[in-house]
Amino acid sequence: MDNSMIQQGWHASHALAVASLYENAFGHKFKAAIPSKAQRIHLLAESFDPDFSFVVIANEKIVGIAGYQTAQGSLTGGITLKRLWRVLGFWRGTWAALVLSLFERKPDPKELIMDGIVVDPACRGLGLGSELLSHIITYARENQYQKVRLDVIDSNPRARKLYDEKGFLPVRTDRFPALKWLVGFSGSTTMVYEIQAS
């Protein structure tokens, strides 16, 4: 894509735009936890840690983001119980924390976990998702991680195709149809990219 660049992190002035981009892709997963779209965007903008991400910037606008999690932190690590209580109140915040805990994953010391990858719908089909994923893999290799892990939901074949093409291999598939009303999908596949020692 012409006039675009990929960098690690972003300036705080982009927080709301990044949160809106992330919400457009993943908001359906968190709707049961936080029904209000405006509150979801506000919470994300306030909670994101830009250091744990790579972004695509085109014409001074962020059009793609790939977040990740390590033992040191994560893109979404700022979504704490205390913050949920402050934004939503005690009871709704506690409910949101319980629902969001279903998505919680902890990395091993030598493992990097993908924390969402999003490309603006207007920019899809240009290879930006693939470029972001390449940057994540390169970052993992340069920082001596042994593997990159992610979960892809059963209703997102576009993402699954990208991960297959990049060399991620499925290691486990979980089915939970009874929870579809709560999390927005009925199954997911865990995939791993093994970092080859140089």
pLDDT digits (tens, 9 = 90+) for 88-108: 999 999 999 998 888 888 898
Helix (H) or strand (E) holding 87: helix 81-88
Q: Which CATH number covers residue 153? A: 3.40.630.30
Contact (Cβ atoms closer than 8 angstroms) between residue 75 and residue 63: no
What pLDDT was estimated at residue 198? 62
pTM of the shown model: 0.89
CA distance 91 to 89: 6
What pLDDT was estimated at residue 185? 76
Tokens 């199954």 — which residue? 187
CA distance 66 to 22: 10
Residue type, 46: E
Q: What is the CA radius of gyration of the chain?
A: 16
Give the chain's residues under pLDDT 70. Answer: 1-2, 179, 181, 183, 197-198
Contact (Cβ atoms closer than 8 angstroms) between residue 52 and residue 114: no
What pLDDT was estimated at residue 1? 61
Indicate the number of domains in the chain. 1
Contact (Cβ atoms closer than 8 angstroms) between residue 114 and residue 148: yes
What pLDDT was estimated at residue 142? 95
Contact (Cβ atoms closer than 8 angstroms) between residue 22 and residue 49: no
CA distance 124 to 65: 12
Range of the domain at 158: 4-194
Please give the structure tokens belonging to residue 198.
Answer: 């140089």
